[in-house]
Amino acid sequence: MTKQHRATVNEGIQANTVTGDVIAVGRGAQAHKMVMAESDRRQLLEAVDKLHQEIDKLNVDSARRDELKQHASEIEQVVTAKQSHPKEVEGALGRFVQRLKRSRGHC
């Protein structure tokens, strides 16, 4: 009777440097990449433009208006960034909303 030898399989990778937008390694591994479509970007820019217009209509002093417009511009910068990710846009919008909530007494 002969002994069976188990074959070993290396399913991993060995590397000094690995780069990529998404990487999946191993049995059943999956990688997904979310990107913002150009139409999404246009819609978001239109919304930011509308946000600037609405800020202009607020009954607040000019310093407060400038501060709010600066925060809206931060959203615009994230939206127009070449490699912007939907989560980054979501984060910028969330920060803007939090700033509005904190300053509600000033508006």
* pLDDT digits 0-9 by tens, 31-90: 877 666 778 788 888 989 998 898 888 888 888 888 889 989 999 998 888 777 778 888
44 near 78, Cβ under 8 Å?
no
Comparison of pLDDT for 62 and 104, the residue scoring more: 62
What confidence category does residue 107 fall into, taking pLDDT thresholds of 50, 70 and 90?
very low
pTM above 0.85, yes or no: no
Pair 72, 96: CB distance under 8 Å:
yes
- Rounded to whole angstroms, the Cα distance separating 69 from 62 reads 10
- Alpha-carbon distances, residue 30 vs 22, 25, 26, 33 (angstroms): 9, 8, 9, 10
